[in-house]
């Protein structure tokens, strides 16, 4: 790649980027030197995919390289809109959409704190989010610190944006660290998102959470390895 750009399947792949397979037919562009998705993102998309219909309109918040939204669209066939503050990752996500022929998926370079200026209220059936796990005053990761620590948005901010985007009865799906479980549940309830299902990883370190906007109280809890 002498000019720093290669073309694969009609999509550009640039220097310091890698194309990673998702399955036998699909792949995604990732940075080789920055934020790279992990097992938490895979667990989140699979969890949301079990409960999302093809006619749903889904929103991928803090989308990173687009792994959750793209995988959800590939699995279910739904429309997906994503929001990512990092312009480089957002651009990669849109090129990954082209690479996989996803014309109903797009990613917007926007701060979650500005969601209300960029999108209509109550426009989505589903919100998925793999948020930063750690407080801003914790020691951030040396690689992509904003993806791991709340340097640009808190979980309270994510809940406010989710409640703004979701229709009444719409579902939000999160993955998070178990060390903040009580805080996360409290923030969701206070923000109008009723926790309905909690799946704790059998290793005890992380959990998946489904909340429904405007639902009645009642939480089911189980453990699953993911």
Q: Give the separation between CA 45 and CA 70, rounded to whole angstroms.
A: 9
The model's pTM is: 0.91
Task: Give, in order, the Cα–Cα distances in Å from 223 to each of 3, 131, 177.
Answer: 49, 21, 14
Note the pLDDT of residue 133.
87
Taking only the tens place, the pLDDT of each residue in 66-116 is 999 999 999 999 999 999 999 999 999 999 999 999 999 999 999 999 999
Nearest alpha-carbon partner for 213 in 157, 162, 174: 162
Taking only the tens place, the pLDDT of each residue in 191-222 is 999 999 999 999 999 999 999 999 999 999 99
The Cα diameter of the chain in Å comes to 59
List the CATH code of the domain at 37-224.
3.40.50.150
- Helix 67-76 to helix 39-49 angle, to the nearest 10 degrees? 30
Q: Give the separation between CA 32 and CA 18, rounded to whole angstroms.
A: 6
Q: Give the separation between CA 67 and CA 44, rounded to whole angstroms.
A: 10
pLDDT bucket at 8, cuts 50 / 70 / 90: low
Beta carbons of 75 and 45 less than 8 angstroms apart: yes
Q: How many residues does the chain have?
A: 226
Beta carbons of 170 and 126 less than 8 angstroms apart: yes
């Amino acid at each position: 790649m002498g000019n720093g750009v290669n073309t694969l399947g009609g999509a550009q792949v640039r220097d310091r980027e890698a194309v990673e397979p998702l399955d036998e037919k699909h792949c995604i562009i990732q940075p080789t030197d920055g934020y790279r998705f992990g097992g938490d993102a895979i667990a989140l998309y699979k969890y949301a995919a079990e409960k999302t219909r093809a006619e749903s309109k889904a929103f991928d918040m803090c989308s990173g390289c687009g792994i959750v939204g793209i995988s959800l669209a590939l699995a279910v066939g739904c429309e997906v809109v994503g929001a990512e503050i990092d312009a480089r990752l957002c651009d990669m996500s849109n090129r990954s959409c082209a690479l996989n022929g996803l014309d109903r998926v797009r990613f917007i370079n926007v701060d979650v704190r500005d969601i209300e200026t960029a999108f209509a209220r109550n426009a989505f059936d589903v919100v998925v989010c793999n948020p930063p796990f750690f407080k801003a005053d914790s020691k951030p990761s040396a690689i992509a610190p904003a993806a791991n620590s709340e340097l640009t948005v808190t979980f309270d901010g994510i809940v406010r944006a989710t409640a703004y985007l979701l229709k009444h009865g719409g579902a939000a799906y999160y993955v998070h660290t178990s060390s903040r479980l009580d805080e996360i549940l409290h923030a969701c309830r206070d923000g109008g998102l009723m926790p309905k299902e909690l799946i704790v990883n059998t290793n005890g370190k992380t959990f998946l959470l489904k909340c429904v906007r405007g639902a009645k109280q009642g939480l089911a809890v189980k453990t699953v390895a993911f």
